[in-house]
Amino acid sequence: MKSFSTKGIVLIVCLTLVLVGAWRYRAGRDWTPTLTINTPHYTIYSSATPEQTETVGKIADSLYDAYGAFLSSLNLSVKHKGIHKMKLFATREEFRNHNLITDWAEAFYQKPYCYQYFSEEERNPYHWMIHEATHQLNQEVANLSVSKWVDEGLADYFGSSCIISNRLVIGTIDPNTYPVWWLHLLAKSGDLEADKMNGSVIPLRAIISASGGPNIDESFNLYYLHWWSLMHFLLHGEAGKYRDGVSRIMTGESDVEGFEKHFGPIEAIEIEWYAYVLELKRKEL
């Protein structure tokens, strides 16, 4: 009986991988938008309904305006003006199938597009889009080159703001957004040191340095809670005294050294941030 040589088996495995890869690639390319709309700041390729697409366009423009106003409030300027691109999928299933998503991503930004679906079943169907579109603005409008905690913190800050009459009101907090709906996971005991021990607080030094904390794939909700609440605290806590520092880290160093230069010792900020988190929890967001 003829048997396969090792070379033959390797060839068959390789061919199989190539065919599977080709199929997956084709699956990833076979999406045709049913409509394209242009707004003042975005071109949106969409398979969602015309009404959903128009609304997403309005909210995205509102984000763009809020982002510009935010930059000016920090004395920062728009570095680049242009039209930004989005792909809006009708359903979560379509979004995941087309983009071959196998992990927890609900939207993502990969230059030049923001990819998201219209999450009709959520009370706030826009927060995933706003999060990713903020990453897009961080890169394409403000040309930021910042540490992950700043990039994610800003995306969470905008993504978790309330939308009132189709307008994004930054600084407000919508409890029906990610990661705010996981707030109960943060600071469980009410005592900073105890919470570091029980794992419901990650030391801010680990957050800023992006090292020494728990495995991010296992604790991603907790990381997002830290990024969001730290940015919210720096922009609104302590009567806004850290806003100038935020402006400086957005244009300069945002590593541990930069953080301590602009805000002071991390462990001192950690105590104030922790009190701010407890206050947010007390308000039962």
- The strand pair at 84-89 and 162-164 is best described as unpaired
Phi, psi of 142 (to 5 degrees): -95, -10
Q: Are 189 and 198 in contact (CB under 8 A)?
A: yes
Nearest approach, Cβ of residue 216 and Zn ion (Å): 12
Residue nearer to Zn ion on the CB measure, 185 or 278: 185
As a whole number of angstroms, the distance between CA 188 and CA 199 comes to: 9
Residues in region 150-169 near Zn ion by CB under 5 A? 152, 155
As to burial, measured by CB atoms within 10 angstroms (0-12 exposed, 13-18 middle, 19+ buried), residue 279 is exposed
Q: Please, which residue, 31 or 220, has the CB nearer to Zn ion?
A: 220
The CB-of-133 to Zn ion minimum distance in angstroms stands at 11
Tokens 């905690």 — which residue? 149
Question: Which residues between 188 and 227 bind Zn ion (CB under 5 A)?
Answer: none
Closest separation in Å from C-beta 155 to Zn ion: 4
Reading the block at residue 121, the tokens are 């079943």
Q: Which is nearer to Zn ion, 155 or 230 (CB)?
A: 155
Closer residue to Zn ion, CB minimum distance, 24 or 111: 111
Structure tokens that stand for 99 in this block: 């983009």
| Closest C-alpha among 88, 15, 78, 17 to residue 58 | 88
| Binding piece for Zn ion, criterion CB under 5 A, among 17-25, 147-155, 189-197, 228-236 | 147-155
Q: Report, in angstroms and rounded to the nearest whole number, the Rg of the chain calculated over CA atoms.
A: 22
Question: Smallest gap, in angstroms, from Cβ of residue 150 to Zn ion?
Answer: 11
Specify the stretch interacting with Zn ion by CB under 5 A; choose among 19-27, 146-154, 205-213, 253-261. Answer: 146-154
- Between 152 and 195, name the residue whose CB sits nearer to Zn ion: 152
Smallest distance from the beta carbon of 85 to Zn ion, in angstroms?
Answer: 18
Task: Give the per-residue contact string, 106-145, with Zn ion (x = CB under 5 A; - = no).
Answer: ----------------------------------------
Measured from the CB of residue 6, what is the shortest distance to Zn ion in angstroms? 45
> In angstroms, rounded to a whole number, what is the distance separating the alpha carbons of residues 38 and 15?
43
Residues 6+ apart with CB under 8 A from 228: 152, 153, 156, 157, 160, 179, 180
Report the interface residues with Zn ion, using CB under 5 A: 152, 155
